[in-house]
Structure 1
Amino acid sequence: MPARRGLFVAPFDALADPRVVGDLAAEAEEAGWEGFFVWDHLQYGDRVAEIADVWTCCAAVAMRTEKLLFGPMVTPLARRRPQVLARQSASLAVLSGGRFVLGLGLGDDWVGEFGAYGDEPDPKVRGRMLDEGLEVLTGLLGGDPVDHDGDHYAARDVRFLPAPEVTIWIGGRFPNAAPLRRASRHDGFFVIGLDGPGDLDRVTADLARHEPRNGFDVVVDLQPDQDPAPWLDAGASWVLTRVGPYDLDLDAVRRLVRAGP
C-alpha cells in the first residue's frame, strides 16, 4: 500500500471544542488528508489551558467524515479500564464504518497527569498494565468469551458484541525495545523520538526480527515545516503532520489543513 499522510492534532485551547475538531476533520478529508489522529491528555503543563475530551472529538470526526482513518493517538491504557475502552472502540468502529484506529501506549507523567489523579505513576508498572490490559481488550474486541483474572484486571466469563475490526497501533519512544516488541504483535508502531529518517532503518530492521503481520504500519509525526519525503523513502507507511500543542491559532490551523498533504 502506498505511504499515507495524516494530521496529528492536539485538541487544546483554540481547538478545545469537539465541534471545531469535527469541522477540521471534514476540511482535512476534502483537502486530501487520509488520517486525523487526536492527542489524548487530561492536562499539558502551564502553556495549555483548555483541553477537549478525545472520545468526544473522535465521535465528531466519525460523524463529519466518510473516508478518513482516525482515533486517539495515543491513549494510556493504564488510566482506562480495558472493558470500557473495548466498548468505546467498538462503538466508534461501528459509527465510522470501520475507520477507527486505537492508539495505545504508556503515557507520560511529566506534568503529573497520572500521579495528580491517583493513577499509577511508575512507567514500569504501567508497562505491565498495558500488556495485561491489551490481552483483555483484544479478547473482548474479538467477540469470543474472555475469562481473565490477573494482577491488574479481571474479565470473568464475559463476551462482548458487536465485534467489529479495530486497528491497534502502539506508541513508543525510539530506541526503547519494549514498545517495539509490543507493537509487533498488533497492527502498527507509532514511533516518536527519532532524530532523522535514517533511524527508521533500525526500527524496520528490529521490527522484521519480530515478524509483524502483513500490512503492519510504521507511523511517524513531523512538524509542519519538515519535508515528509525522506521519511516516506525510509519506510514510513504513515507520516503525520503535527498540529500543536502550543499557541494554536485556529485560522492558521485551517490554512494548514486546507493546503492538503
Structure 2
Amino acid sequence: MRYALYLPPFGELADPGVLADLSARAENAGFDGVFLWDHVVRPRRPGLAVCDPWIALAAIAARTERIRIGTRITPLSRRRPHDVARQAVAIDQLSAGRFILGVGLGAANGGELSKLGEADDARTRAEMLDEALDVICRLWSGEPVDHSGEHYRVDGLQFLPRPVQRPRIPIWVAAQSVRPRPLRRAARFDGVCPETTPDGLREMLRSIERSRGGLRDYDVAVGGAPGDDPAPYREAGATWWLVQFPELTSVHEVTAAIDRASR
C-alpha cells in the first residue's frame, strides 16, 4: 500500500508556496503522494481563503521529484474539458510524468455550483462527466479531434504536446456506492476513489473486477483521518491510503502528521 497526504487548500493552506513546502517535507518523510481538494469557493464559510489546486500542483511539481500528485477530485462539470486537458499535460510535463487526474461529480456544498451558474443536477453532471472524459482522452492522443456532443464541441482540433505518461495520464474516478453507473465509469479508467466501509469496498471491487476482467495495475485510493488504521482497507483491496485532513486544517496539524509518519 502507498501512502499520501490529501490536503484541503483552504485557510492556512490556501497558498501554493505553503502547499509546495508541505509536499517537499512529505516526500522527504517517505510519503508516496500528495493530492488536493479541487474547489473554487466554500459558500458555507464565506470568509475562508481558497487556493486554486492546479496552480498549487504546479508549485508542488517544481518542488518535488518522486511523489505522485493530483486532484481528488475535480468535478469536470464545472471545468472545460479542453482546459483540463491542457493544464493536466502541463503539470505532467513539469512533474516528469507524476500527475494523476482524479475526477467525479463533485457536490453542491451549499451552492458551490448553483451560485456560479454551474449545473447542479446530478444526472446532468454525470452526463457532462462522461462526455468530458471522452473529450479529454481524445485530446491527449495528439490526434485531430472531432466531437459534437450534448455538452461539448471540438471541430477538428489537435492538442500537442501529448502527456509524458503513456498511453495517457492515469485517471481515478470517485464512487460512493455500489450503483452500477459510477462503478462502470471507474472500471473504464485506472483507479477508483471510493468513500465506503471495508465491506463496501469489497463489494465495489467485485463489480469493477467483473467489468474490467481483473484488477491488475488498478489503483484503489481510500482516505482516512490521521491516526486511522488503514489495515482493514488494505485487506479489502485498497492500494493507496490518503491521510485526509478536514476542511479547516492548520500547517502545524499537517507537519505534525508528517513528522509522526516519518518516525
Using the size of structure 2 for normalisation, the TM-score is 0.93
User: Which residue in 2 is equivalent to 1:241?
Assistant: 243
Amino acid of the structure 2 residue aligned with 1:225 = G
User: Which residue in 1 is equivalent to 2:208?
Assistant: 207
User: Percent of pairs identical after alignment?
Assistant: 39
Answer whether contact 1:28 1:260 (CA < 8 A) is retained.
no
User: Which residue in 2 is equivalent to 1:96?
Assistant: 95
1:58-207 mapped onto 2 (5 Å cutoff):
58-164=57-163, 165=165, 166-192=169-195, 194=196, 196-207=197-208
TM-fit CA distance, 1:213:
6.6
Answer whether contact 1:10 1:244 (CA < 8 A) is retained.
yes
CA distance in 1, matches of 2:24, 2:170: 21
* Correspondence for 1:28 among 19, 26, 30: 26
Answer whether contact 1:43 1:111 (CA < 8 A) is retained.
no
CA distance in 2, matches of 1:249, 1:138: 36
CA distance in 2, matches of 1:180, 1:75: 17
- Indicate the SS of the match to 1:210: helix
Moved over 3 A (4+): none
TM-fit CA distance, 1:177:
2.7
- Indicate the SS of the match to 2:120: coil
TM-fit CA distance, 1:48:
6.6
Task: Select between 157-166 and 87-96 the one with higher mean Cα deviation.
Answer: 157-166
CA distance in 1, matches of 2:46, 2:246: 11
- Indicate the SS of the match to 2:198: coil
- Indicate the SS of the match to 1:20: helix
Answer whether contact 1:59 1:92 (CA < 8 A) is retained.
yes
TM-fit CA distance, 1:255:
1.1
User: Which residue in 2 is equivalent to 1:56?
Assistant: 55
Closer, same or farther: CA 54–136 of 1 in aligned 2, 3 Å: same
* Correspondence for 1:18 among 12, 16, 19: 16
Closer, same or farther: CA 175–47 of 1 in aligned 2, 3 Å: farther
User: Which residue in 1 is equivalent to 2:41?
Assistant: 43
1:217-250 residue CA offsets vs partner (Å, 9 max, x unmatched): 111100112101121121101111102212x222
Closer, same or farther: CA 27–48 of 1 in aligned 2, 3 Å: farther
Task: Select between 44-53 and 203-212 the one with higher mean Cα deviation.
Answer: 44-53
CA distance in 2, matches of 1:260, 1:230: 19
1:1-16 mapped onto 2 (5 Å cutoff):
3-16=1-14
* Correspondence for 2:223 among 202, 221, 224: 221
Task: Select between 206-215 and 134-143 the one with higher mean Cα deviation.
Answer: 206-215
TM-fit CA distance, 1:88:
0.3
Closer, same or farther: CA 47–254 of 1 in aligned 2, 3 Å: farther
User: Which residue in 2 is equivalent to 1:255?
Assistant: 256
Q: How many residues align?
A: 256
Amino acid of the structure 2 residue aligned with 1:210 = S
- Indicate the SS of the match to 1:73: strand
Closer, same or farther: CA 108–148 of 1 in aligned 2, 3 Å: same
Answer whether contact 2:74 2:102 (CA < 8 A) is retained.
yes
TM-fit CA distance, 1:259:
2.4
Using the size of structure 1 for normalisation, the TM-score is 0.94
Amino acid of the structure 2 residue aligned with 1:90 = V
Structure 1: tracts of 5 or more residues without a match: none
CA distance in 2, matches of 1:175, 1:31: 36
CA distance in 1, matches of 2:227, 2:121: 35
- Indicate the SS of the match to 1:140: helix
